[in-house]
Amino acid sequence: MGAMAQKADDHAGPAAGPATGADAAMADKATQPTTGADAGRMQRPGAGEDKPSAGITLMERMGIPLPPLPPEKPYTGKVDLAYGAFQRGLFGTAFDYALPLAEKGDPASETLIAELMSRGLAVKKDMKGAAFWYGKAAKDGDPAAMFKYALIVLEGVYAPKDTALAYDYMHKAADAGNASAQFNWAQILVSQNPGVKGLHLALPYYEKSAEQGIADAQYAVAQIYRNLPDLPQEKRDMAREWLVRAARAGFDTAQLDMGIWLINGIMGPQNLDNGFNWLRIAANRGNVAAQNRLAHVYVAALGTRPDPVEAAKWFILSRRAGLNDPSLEDFYMGLPTAQQKQAIEAANKYRVGHKSAQVQAPASKNKVPAPKPEPAPAPSNAAVGLPGVSVPPVGGYMPENDAPDDENTKVEPQAPGAKSATP
């Protein structure tokens, strides 16, 4: 009997002494009934009360009270009442606060007045008046106003056109840290200095803009990191990271490229499933090139099951938008009549976001025609040098495309490649 008692004690753990301090406080909150239906069950704080229990917090389990909040540091900076009102949507109040300061030459107030006037907030929309205040604020050194006024004088509608002044203000705003100005100044540098030299000059501004979250700049950095020679390897290794940032920001061209990079294994490992998903996102956002590429991946079963009707649907949508693809044309013409009809009906029902994209089949203005191969578009709608999907499954169908496999969709039209055989 003594041996059995000893074994039981071996599994019982350390002997429990009297509860003290925080343990005693916890014992008061969590009790263990010895009789009744709840015998042996630990009761949480509040059990048995009329109101529901809030449970035991982590601090209660640890027996440690919450530390007091640190004292709030007093703010000693300048209080901008006008901008504070603007942030809260009190545009009339913001205007009343800002106007006296703007008349005294305060750059931030001048910019705020211009912004209110350009958007018609609390005052009648007045672009000429906004241009006047943007000009004053730009002259007084406000970076945001420099950027806005540079665009105004570059356009020459609400202020006299002055390209030299526009470039000067854009450069100053970029150097002052304005993210949009940094991207635009990089674009100007590229246009003024064609080739590798312009890219090298523009890259620091693209990088600064990308760091501040401008998706266009993130896309540009990804492309430059991939294609510009003599860059450090650590920058080349970041190309895909910058591209995915732009894609996640909703930039559909980056989403298109992200799909192609993943499918082709560009600047990183291949991932067919994720590549397919990015192409589908871009296609559903209305990117015509992505719709064309998505048709190819449905045909070739890259990251998805083969689906001839879905492939034909995306081909029809991209071709109606003016992008012809001879290889997909051959694929479509080789489909059975019933599948061609299903694809036309699916294309007619397709919606982009909340806006209906329904259009009638090409052969009829009023109804879906009897299914038959659609005629080829005029040569002016021929495919440009779009990126190709170059990793087919074993024995799979792959369209011919002599264009480079990068993502530049803004190239000059070229003659389409030779047609491939019908699968």
Give the tens place of pLDDT for each residue, 43-94.
555 555 555 556 666 666 667 777 788 888 887 777 889 999 999 999 999 9
Share of the chain above pLDDT 70, in %: 68
**Helix, strand or coil, per DSSP, at residue 190:** helix
pLDDT band at 16 (very low <50, low <70, confident <90, very high): very low
Question: What DSSP character marks residue 379?
Answer: G
Mean pLDDT of 171-189: 96
**10 Å Cβ neighbour count for 211?**
14
Cβ atoms 66, 93 nearer than 8 A: no
Residues composing the chain: 423
Pairing mode of beta strands 351-352, 355-356:
antiparallel
| Domains within the chain, CATH numbers bracketed | 81-176 (1.25.40.10)
Radius of gyration of the chain (CA): 33
pLDDT band at 288 (very low <50, low <70, confident <90, very high): very high
Cβ atoms 374, 397 nearer than 8 A: no
Say which amino acid occupies 209: S
Cβ atoms 216, 251 nearer than 8 A: yes
Task: With a cut of 90, say whether residue 149 has pLDDT above it.
Answer: yes
pLDDT tens for each residue of 383-395: 333 344 443 332 3
pLDDT tens for each residue of 301-359: 999 999 999 999 999 999 999 998 999 999 999 999 999 999 999 999 987 543 333 33
Lowest mean per-residue pLDDT among 26-35, 59-68, 277-286: 26-35
Cβ atoms 335, 343 nearer than 8 A: yes
Cβ atoms 147, 165 nearer than 8 A: no
Mean pLDDT of 140-166: 96
The mean pLDDT of the chain is 78
Helix (H) or strand (E) holding 351: strand 351-352
Question: According to the model, what pLDDT value does residue 251 have?
Answer: 94
Burial class from Cβ neighbours inside 10 Å (0-12, 13-18, 19+) for residue 295 reads: buried
Cβ atoms 227, 406 nearer than 8 A: yes
* Overall pTM > 0.85: no
Cβ atoms 120, 113 nearer than 8 A: no
Closest by Cα among 193, 192, 185 to 220: 185
